[in-house]
Amino acid sequence: MKAESNTAQAKKWFLKGLRDGIPIAAGYFAVSFALGITARNAGLTWYQATIASLLCNASAGEYAGFEVIASHGSYITMALITAIISARYMLMSVTLSQKLSPEVNTPQRLFVGFWVTDEIFGASSTVPGKLNPHYNYGLAICSLSFWALGTCLGVVLGNILPANIVTALGVLLYGMFLAIIMPEGRKNKKVGVIILISMGVSFAFSRLPYVSSLSEGTRIIIITLLIAGAAAFIFPVKDDGADESAAAAGGEDEI
């Protein structure tokens, strides 16, 4: 019975992830279409670009990789650049690992970490309580399939569309990301304040001397560490397991 219950829960969360991934997929399709044009200009075929998008889920990192290919750079150069640009995903993976139940095994955790993107992280973070990994799988399969599809079509058809239309399509991604974080910000005032502070600090970092010269990925890591660390210190979250244990102990005392 317990195995059937777990299977039913996994299916429920997976289907919810598929549904919630639809707006992310729409944004990814638009952005990856432009990325496909970059891949074509770098000399990649449609299937090479598609495989690249299936294995690399970071837009900035993948774009940098295509640029290294176009400039005939070395594998070491490509590895270092993509690692630096995508380093923030390590922080996101660590954060999501704290939302997973201790019962989630290592292979499942690796899949969650592999499929982390900014938008998937944002959607997964808003799940109340513990995160069921199958929700993350649903999000990833839905959205990242369109990421790869958009890259493929960008290689095949991208040069047909005017450049300004392709650029305009990229705006969809920012609107989609706001659609993920704003409902949670409206529901929780503390989260809303943190979102506004994050936007303000991000804008300031893009204008201030020295820090503005850093890569976008490095700025995101610094901002994440500063704001997430301060928020965790000021607004600590109680452990659900500790609360349940305390409630159970209290119940035993009353009996």
Provide the domain limits for residue 68: 2-173
pLDDT of residue 22: 92
The answer to whether residues 20 and 145 belong to one domain is yes
Which of 34, 23, 61 minimizes the C-alpha distance to 142? 23
Does one domain contain both 6 and 131?
yes
- Does 182 map to a domain? no
Is 162 within the bounds of a domain?
yes
Same-domain check for residues 137 and 235: no
Task: Examine residue 180 and state whether it is found in any structural domain, yes or no.
Answer: no
CA distance linking residue 141 with residue 164, whole number of Å: 29
Take residue 217 and report the two structure tokens written for it.
């990925």
Q: Are 115 and 123 in contact (CB under 8 A)?
A: no
φ, ψ (nearest 5 deg) of residue 237:
-100, 130
Nearest to 47 by CA among 62, 56, 36: 36
Last residue of a domain, one of 173, 205, 234: 173
- Do 29 and 93 fall within a single domain? yes
Of the candidates 142, 83, 134, the one whose C-alpha atom is nearest the C-alpha of residue 112 is 134
The confidence score (pLDDT) of residue 180 equals 60
Stated length of the chain:
255
Number of domains in the chain: 2
Position 165 in a domain = yes
Please report whether residue 255 resides in a domain.
no
Q: Please tell me whether residues 106 and 211 are part of one structural domain.
A: no
Structural domain contains residue 113: yes
Strand positions, DSSP E, 79-232: none
Shared domain for 12 and 83, answered yes or no, is: yes
Q: Is position 83 within any domain?
A: yes
138 and 26 together in one domain: yes
Pick the last residue of a domain from 173, 206, 226. 173
- Asked whether residue 23 falls in the same domain as residue 117, the answer is yes
Whether residues 56 and 140 share a domain: the answer is yes
Positive or negative, the CA dihedral 172, 225, 213, 117 is: negative
Residue 164 shares a structural domain with residue 210: no
pTM above 0.85, yes or no: no
**Together in a domain, 96 and 208:** no
Same domain flag for 42 and 164: yes
In a domain, 84, yes or no: yes
Mean pLDDT for back-to-back runs of 10 residues, the chain (255 residues): 73 94 87 84 91 86 84 83 81 89 91 90 88 94 93 83 65 61 75 85 88 74 80 70 41 37
